Amino acid sequence: MREASSPYLRQHADNPVDWYPWGAEAFARAKEDGKPLFVSIGYAACHWCHVMAHESFEDPAIAQVLSDAFVSVKVDREERPDVDALYMAAVQAMTGSGGWPMSVFCTPDGRPFFAGTYFPPSDRHGMPSFRRVLEAVAAAWSERRHEVEAQASALADALEHHTTALEGLARPADRVAWDEVSRLAVGRLAEKFDPAFGGFGPAPKFPRPGFVELCLRAASEDPGGDPLAMATRTLDAMAAGGIYDHLEGGFARYATDARWLVPHFEKMLTDQALLVRAYLHAWQVTGTPTYLQVVRETIDFVTGSLSTEDGGFCASLDADSAGTEGGHATWTPAEVATALSTELEEPGGAADLTGALCDWWGVTKQGDIEGRSVLHRPLGATLARPPEIEAGRMALAAARRRRPQPARDEKVLTEWHAMFTAALAEAAWACGEESWALRALGAAEHLFSHNRRPDGRWLRSARSGVPAFAGDYAWVLECATRLATSTGEERWIGRAEETADGLLELFWDEGRGGVFTTGRDAEALLVRQKDVTDGALPSANAAAAVALLRLGALTGADRWTDAGARIAELALPLAVSQPLAVADMLPALSLMERGAQIVVAGDRTELLDAVRRRWLPDAVVAWGQPTRSPLWEGREPGAAYVCRGFVCHQPARDVATLEAQLEELVAGPRR
């Protein structure tokens, strides 16, 4: 375990539990000894994973029970999302919910028969202790193995059925228009919306960027009204709350309360990527400066705290520091005063500034967590900091960096790195920010030079050597198309096509359409899954559909457009019955109906700027180096061409004409 590529596995190297990594050795040992497998799945930044580790996996008595009765396997869900997804489906089938740490008991060949998430060290709150669970499972295996085997087989059959069930759903009898899908989705969001503090559903509250983006789409097509209010209330409340890091930027994974005040403090690269996009698009739709401030500070956090020395973006920061959750990020008034007197060049005014900072960020003697305060702003108050507050922010940030820091998961995961690089490239394009453009280019080059085998096969991460999954390929494809737009360089189209070829060759389901999670060359699991509904991230099929449709629009190649459309059609039954389950797939349906192309030929910066300023979610933009695409056929330098389905308006040679054409584009296709 000490040599494992995963920091999460290395964290458990000194446990008295005899852990095996996921692999043939563990299965062979279980079969040889006739023992069931105990599969524990988590990730490095997971607070409750650490809690269960300290309470149970560091306990020699529990370790002895595990050693006597089980073969214990530790899995990093971020390195092996396929294993995680398989057993998460089992946990949800057996318990009705899921989460991490995940605790799954399996037959020696990997079929699950009992599962749960966190188990405490002693019976409490209606939950059995972990030791009692272990003893009960061991007894069932020893005394009623035929029943256990039958249950495992039945569950394996159910997981197989679950994987193929979506393809069996009845297709809508009539064509489903985007306007109808959008109304259905926004209506469901309105039912779940919290008008007081934003967000969709009760505590604990997770940022759901895909939900916000659906509201922004509806608002951009029909300005004003409920969708815009739902989006902005949610974004405002998150940016004001403690889920947002007011000193260093970036977002925690989720909030434990309805006000977005008290987070679990882990910070994941994926959340930063998706929320940068949501706030960027909100800024483009509304022009609200606060949203651009959040974009800038979140990008600063990632390019500072989550960057590797060689240009990668690593996975996460831990929730805990010095054994305390959020210990590095919470404050008392006395700590604020000490930090200011230590860090300010002229500490004479520290007393007055202490009061101002405590008032600004809600630092009180009572605190929010065990007498400590989470920095936040009142909902509706400005986030724009006056000079004295900004000076105080810098002083507190410097003092915070002197505290014990949360551990950093150094994995550079292809999917996650590509996801943030795509967001960074889009932000650079929209804002005209050259430093972001250069960083996005460097990050993409890092990905292409580090995370592929010599034969071109993508890896989940360079160090693990695990073959990449469909989500990895889909987000690399999205990243390459975004770089094609942000740079105007033809080479990114070539790289996108190469990645799309690999995606379809390795993952495509010839029978039913869509992409499987694992490639045809990957380890065979109990079930070969197909990820269609969204989870913590957009489903692999959603990401693939959008990226393929965008590539088809940029190149004019039907093979990409047809593949993207066929994936999107998988979601049609759910789009009309449970649209929020496939929220991140819905933009693909809009692209199919409303997809547009914009070409700016020649050196016309003012025309490019007119395009940049708008959020045009259903349009792709080509400029710079011409490609072989029909988009470029007959284009005269010095003009912009706005097209839908490769049928174009008259060339726009001035900004006013172009803006009128773009306004019509946002309003939807001509009927």
β-strands 102-106, 37-42 pairing: antiparallel
Distance CA 222, CA 416 (A): 33
**pLDDT value of residue 671:** 41
**pLDDT value of residue 349:** 67
Quickly name the fold that domain 411-592 has: Glycosyltransferase (1.50.10)
Query: What percent of the chain has pLDDT above 90?
Result: 84
DSSP state of 348: G
Q: Which CATH class is domain 178-315?
A: mainly alpha
Q: Please, what's the b/e burial string for 496-525 (b: 16 or more CB within 10 A of its CB; e: otherwise)?
A: bbebbebbbebbbbeeebbbbbbbeebeeb
- Which range is least confidently modeled, 28-37, 42-51, 124-133, 155-164? 155-164
Distance CA 511, CA 540 (A): 18
What residue spans in the chain does CATH classification 1.50.10.20 cover?
Answer: 178-315, 411-592
Q: What is the pLDDT of residues 42-77, one digit of tens each?
A: 999 988 999 999 999 999 999 999 999 999 999 999
| Residue 452: count of CB within 10 angstroms of its CB | 18
Please determine, for residue 483, whether its predicted confidence score (pLDDT) is greater than 80.
yes
Please determine, for residue 324, whether its predicted confidence score (pLDDT) is greater than 90.
no
Mean pLDDT of the 265-290 span: 97
- What radius of gyration, in Å, describes the C-alpha atoms of the chain? 26
Distance CA 648, CA 625 (A): 20
DSSP state of 651: P
The full DSSP string for 451-511 is SB-TTS-BBSBTTT-PBP-HHHHHHHHHHHHHHHHHH--THHHHHHHHHHHHHHHHHB-TT
Q: What is the pLDDT of residues 649-670, one digit of tens each?
A: 899 999 999 999 999 887 765 4
Q: What region does 96 belong to: left with phi over 0, alpha with psi -120 to 50, or beta?
A: left
Q: Which helix (H) or strand (E) holds 395?
A: helix 387-401
Please determine, for residue 638, whether its predicted confidence score (pLDDT) is greater than 80.
yes
Q: Which of 419, 437, 420 is nearest to 428 (CA)?
A: 437
| Residue 444: count of CB within 10 angstroms of its CB | 25
Beta bridge partners of 106: 37, 112
Q: Which of 124, 135, 127 is nearest to 61 (CA)?
A: 135
Question: Dihedral of CA 266/269/272/275: which sign?
Answer: negative
**pLDDT value of residue 668:** 65
Distance CA 21, CA 413 (A): 18
Evaluate whether 82 touches 469 at the Cβ level (below 8 Å): yes
Please determine, for residue 173, whether its predicted confidence score (pLDDT) is greater than 60.
no
Distance CA 460, CA 451 (A): 7
Q: What is the pLDDT of residues 505-518, one digit of tens each?
A: 999 999 889 999 99
Cis before 669 (ω within 30): no
Evaluate whether 263 touches 253 at the Cβ level (below 8 Å): yes
Evaluate whether 37 touches 105 at the Cβ level (below 8 Å): yes
Q: What is the pLDDT of residues 329-388, one digit of tens each?
A: 999 999 999 999 998 877 666 778 999 999 999 999 999 999 999 999 999 999 999 999
Distance CA 153, CA 451 (A): 37
Beta bridge partners of 599: 622, 641
Q: What is the CATH number of domain 7-168?
A: 3.40.30.10
Please determine, for residue 174, whether its predicted confidence score (pLDDT) is greater than 70.
no
- Which range is least confidently modeled, 131-145, 312-326, 543-557? 312-326
Mean pLDDT of the 463-477 span: 96
Beta bridge partners of 116: 103
Q: At which residue do the structure tokens 């979140």 appear?
A: 298
Beta bridge partners of 244: 251
| Residue 18: count of CB within 10 angstroms of its CB | 13
Mutual angle of helices 289-305 and 226-240, in 10-degree steps:
50
**pLDDT value of residue 111:** 95
Number of H helices and E strands in the chain, helices first, is: 25, 18
Evaluate whether 360 touches 415 at the Cβ level (below 8 Å): no
Evaluate whether 650 touches 627 at the Cβ level (below 8 Å): no
Q: What is the pLDDT of residues 197-217, one digit of tens each?
A: 999 999 999 999 999 999 999
**pLDDT value of residue 670:** 47
Q: What is the pLDDT of residues 543-598, one digit of tens each?
A: 999 999 999 999 999 999 999 999 999 889 999 999 999 999 999 999 999 999 99
Distance CA 280, CA 266 (A): 23
* Tokens encoding 159: 């997981």
Domain range 595-667, its CATH number among 3.40.30, 2.40.360, 3.20.20, 3.40.1350: 3.40.30
